[in-house]
Structure 1
């Protein structure tokens, strides 16, 4: 049996960054559903949270998993579930693009705290600002 610890911080937003998840209860329900769905699919989702227009996940990759497939499963099933249960007034969708960066073991707790405190964080900074910081910090072009 392989022993693997590869942490990935994934961030994805709603289509056109629409604030679909604009109530605390809705966000909590969506994050819980994504976490439960991940567990059912054998995806180790360590931490999940977000804000009204985006989601942060800290996952640990398994030996037979890849980032693209995990993101597809999390986004696809959750948007299907949101629409099936009519949790938003308009048809819900996630944007196609996403961020995914590896996280060293020494930074895992810091990333957990960052994800956990999204509501506090976004009282000071918009997702647009956060997006540009990620682009710069991780040298995405």
Structure 2
């Protein structure tokens, strides 16, 4: 194993070989999204300087923005005290992190009476972001 990849051994991977990853705006601290990474995704993220995740539903690597153009430029990679969560401090290209066309995936706010409301606007129609092929 190369010295360059030894740092990946310090990550506590779950039984599927994954670690949770949080994408946070490096300037504002706003949490934009949550995803999963495997060893290869985290290694590529560090190498490319752009976020690469593991899609559990598609069972493949997912370079954030590969379809939408909304890439995440990684400014810093951090790991929590237990070694089992990754924090990516990123610059969100295009200002949209969510596939719904919003800035953040965390746009739903809980109401006191129960239920949820959409608290943040759609910045771009998803049909424009992901045109049918």
| TM-score range normalised by the length of the shorter chain | under 0.3
Q: Larger relative contact order (C-alpha < 8 A, sep ≥ 6)?
A: 1
TM-score (norm: length of structure 2): 0.27
The structure having more radius of gyration, on CA atoms, is 2
TM-score (norm: length of structure 1): 0.26
